[in-house]
Amino acid sequence: MPMFRLITLFLVFVFPVSAYSTDCGDRLPDNNSIYRVNLIGVGVVTAWGVANWDYFSRSPHAQPEGWFGADTDEGGADKIGHLYSSFAVTHGLSAYFKSQCFNHDDAAYYGALSSFVIMGYMELGDSFSDYGFSYEDFVSNVLGSLAGYYLYKNPSLANKLDIRWEYGFNPTDNDFTTDYENSKYLLAIKFNGFEATRKGLLKHLELHLGYYSRGYDDAAERDERNLYLGIGLNLTDLFRRNGYARTATLFNYYQLPGSYIEFKNDFNE
Q: What is the pTM of this model?
A: 0.89
* Positive or negative torsion for Cα 250, 212, 263, 172: negative
Question: What per-residue confidence (pLDDT) applies to 51?
Answer: 83
Domain locations in the chain as residue ranges:
1-156, 159-269
> Can you give the pLDDT of all 269 residues of the chain as single tens digits?
444 444 555 555 445 544 445 677 778 898 999 999 999 989 988 888 888 778 998 899 998 889 999 999 899 999 999 999 999 999 999 999 998 999 999 999 999 999 999 999 989 988 998 888 999 999 999 999 999 999 999 999 999 999 999 987 776 655 566 678 889 999 999 999 999 898 888 999 999 999 999 988 887 789 999 999 999 999 998 898 888 888 888 899 999 999 999 999 999 98
Strands 254-255 and 161-167: what pairing? parallel
Q: What is the 3-state secondary structure (H, E, C) of 232-261?
A: EECHHHHHHHCCCHHHHHHCCCEECCCCEE
SS3 at position 41: helix
Question: What per-residue confidence (pLDDT) applies to 199?
Answer: 85
CA distance 70 to 175: 24
Q: For residue 206, what are the CA distances in angstroms to 8, 19, 162?
A: 25, 27, 10
Question: What per-residue confidence (pLDDT) applies to 52?
Answer: 77
Q: For residue 212, what are the CA distances in angstroms to 38, 143, 146, 165, 209?
A: 31, 18, 22, 10, 11
Q: Looking at the DSSP assignment, which residues form a beta bridge with residue 122?
A: none
DSSP code of 29?
P
